[in-house]
Amino acid sequence: PPVRGPQDVAGRAVFTFRRSCAYRTRLETWFSHERVAMGRAIEIESYQGMLACVIAGSGVALMSESMLDSLPGKDSVSVHPLIGPFATATTWLMWRKGMLGANLNAWIDLQQEGKTEVRQDARAIA
């Protein structure tokens, strides 16, 4: 069934990175915004591990659509976009001063092709 809000996954384990992770903070805020108790947070060290746990049916996770699209096994999970104030996230690319080179310039150009503003949805996977 579709995930329309945190109540649809209440009590399920949540696979996430450490407390400093922006996606973890987003999930915690998503749950608290609706006054729903988040399931136990289980810290995972990689997106691949997170996805494997979700594929196994052990819980839910949140990652960007572009990250999920890059992972093998992505077709084995249901994907549900977050809505409202949780629907979009701003990502900042940073590099060391003076280290901008041809490869980084090419990557930046590729990301911005045909876009006036680069935005990527946050996707919940269950």
Q: What is the pLDDT of residues 36-58, one digit of tens each?
A: 999 999 999 999 999 999 999 99
Global pTM exceeds 0.75: no
pLDDT band at 122 (very low <50, low <70, confident <90, very high): low
> What's the confidence (pLDDT) of residue 12?
95
Task: Write the pLDDT tens digit of every residue in 66-117.
Answer: 889 999 999 999 999 888 888 888 777 888 888 888 888 888 888 777 665 5
The CA-CA-CA angle for residues 88, 56, 40, to 5°, reads 60
The CA-CA-CA angle for residues 14, 74, 65, to 5°, reads 75
CA atoms of 36 and 56, how far apart (whole Å): 24
> Is the separation of the CB atoms in 48 and 92 below 8 Å?
no
SS3 8: helix
> What's the confidence (pLDDT) of residue 77?
95
Domain boundaries, the chain: 6-89
Fold of 6-89: D-Maltodextrin-Binding Protein; domain 2 (3.40.190)
Residue 118 predicted with pLDDT over 90: no
